[in-house]
Amino acid sequence: MLKTDNFSVRQQKDIERPKVLTIEYRAHEGVCQECGKIHKASFPDKVNGTASYGDSLQAILTYLNSYQLLPQKRTTELMRDLFGLKVSQGTIINSANEAYDALEEPEELTKEDIIESEIAGFDETGIRVCGTNHWLHVASTESSTVYSIHKKRGKEAMDDMGILPNFRGTAIHDHWKSYLHYALCAHAECNQHILRSLLYLYEDLNQDFAGEMAALLLRIKRHVDLSKLFNSDETSLGQEDTDIYLGMYHKILTDTSGDGIPVDARRMLNRLAKYEHETLLFMYDFAVPFTNNLAERDIRMPKAKQKISGGFRSEEGAKAFARIRGFISTTRKRGKSAYDGLVAVFKGEATEFLYPIHEPNST
């Protein structure tokens, strides 16, 4: 029979049932031959009781509950079914509280990153805590996320978060007036919110100007996108182009007049006129995005937790979730594993994980 190098290969990947490792520590006693006293060895710092959970197991609990948004009961069921471990819901809460304490320093460093950035998105959404309405606030950049939960929606909550009062870049947000109290930074309107309002005015209230303005904003966006694609050195549209678009913008506003304009339409016209620069900033500065989608994406999944699990039963739990979620979001934005990051949290190495120290090159 002739040998041949021709053959077919098929591979199948599978997973074995995970195994739980139990490490037993023994602290021995001994009598000092010099002084005659009995001395006892100490246990590792985190081995506090007769039975405890290790860093990796706590990381998995926190990953499932705070990132994959599994309710506490379903998390305990998963641990029992996959690992054969009877973990209580209290253990999940204790792990979250431990992570909250360990992440205080990394969160402050992440806030500084956002404060020092040129562009940042800000958003807020309602969330239930202790049966009452609270607000989940988010500050986002391409590499950092910070969440904060507060009873208030406006400036008091934003001040307490500690970012906007010190931010000097460009803040992108919806038209919630509380953001405009901050004068140290520039402001940019989220045009996705504007487009939604214009669509309502055009389709439901038959306001032609709304359709014209929406078409103009999208036309400018296409021009900006093409300029970014084919002229990477440019940082804004040319003067001639901006003059043309600004003239079209003004014409839509000035051509829309009369006593019969609905209140909502009049309000939008006034907004577009007063916040013209903030609305069109994306064509004057290519670093400014057309929308606030980054912050809106960051706030979407925490909002989903409420739909899956309901509200938070304590303010402590809500604050722990916000801080942990901010750390996980920041970790993923920086191309790192969320699970590895949480293991580092429980090892006491969260700051080093998120902000590794680079040794200087040797000479």
The per-residue pLDDT for 363 is 42
Taking the C-alpha atoms of residue 68 and residue 22, their distance in angstroms, rounded to an integer, is 26
The per-residue pLDDT for 39 is 76
Residue 17 resides in a domain: no
pLDDT (tens digit per residue) in 123-161? 999 999 999 999 999 999 999 999 999 999 999 999 999
Six-digit token string for 96: 């979250």
Separate counts of helices (H) and strands (E) for the chain:
14, 7
The per-residue pLDDT for 249 is 98
pLDDT at 174 over 60: yes
Contact between residue 172 and residue 288 where contact means Cβ atoms under 8 Å apart: yes
The per-residue pLDDT for 361 is 52
pLDDT (tens digit per residue) in 298-321? 999 888 888 887 889 999 999 999
Task: State the pLDDT confidence band at 1, using cuts at 50, 70 and 90.
Answer: low
Residue 102 resides in a domain: no
Report the mean per-residue pLDDT for the chain.
Answer: 92
Largest CA distance in the chain: 102
How large is the angle between the packed helices 239-255 and 208-230, nearest 10 degrees?
170
Q: Is 175 helix (H, G, I), strand (E, B) or coil?
A: coil
Residue 268 resides in a domain: yes
Taking the C-alpha atoms of residue 215 and residue 243, their distance in angstroms, rounded to an integer, is 17
pLDDT (tens digit per residue) in 185-219? 999 999 999 999 999 999 999 999 999 999 999 99
Residue 223 resides in a domain: yes
Q: List the single range of 24-28, 60-64, 142-146 with lowest mean pLDDT.
A: 24-28
Residue-number span of the structural domain to which 245 is assigned: 191-284
The model's pTM: 0.88
The per-residue pLDDT for 362 is 45
Taking the C-alpha atoms of residue 349 and residue 355, their distance in angstroms, rounded to an integer, is 10
Task: State the pLDDT confidence band at 38, using cuts at 50, 70 and 90.
Answer: confident
Residue 15 resides in a domain: no
Task: State the pLDDT confidence band at 257, using cuts at 50, 70 and 90.
Answer: confident
- Mean pLDDT computed over 232-256: 96
Residue 67 resides in a domain: no
Q: Is the dihedral of CA 259, 264, 269, 274 positive or negative?
A: positive
Residue 117 resides in a domain: no
The per-residue pLDDT for 2 is 63
Contact between residue 61 and residue 75 where contact means Cβ atoms under 8 Å apart: yes
How many domains in the chain? 1
Q: Which residue has the higher pLDDT, 117 or 39?
A: 117
Residue 102 CA: distances (Å) to CA of 15, 39, 108, 353: 33, 32, 12, 12
Residue 27 CB contacts under 8 Å (≥ 6 apart), including other chains: 40, 41, 42, 43
Contact between residue 165 and residue 322 where contact means Cβ atoms under 8 Å apart: no
Q: Establish how many alpha carbons lie within 13 A of residue 79's alpha carbon, considering only the half-sphere containing its beta carbon.
A: 26
Residue 310 resides in a domain: no
Q: Which residue has the higher pLDDT, 16 or 343?
A: 343
Q: List the single range of 78-82, 216-220, 280-284 with lowest mean pLDDT.
A: 78-82
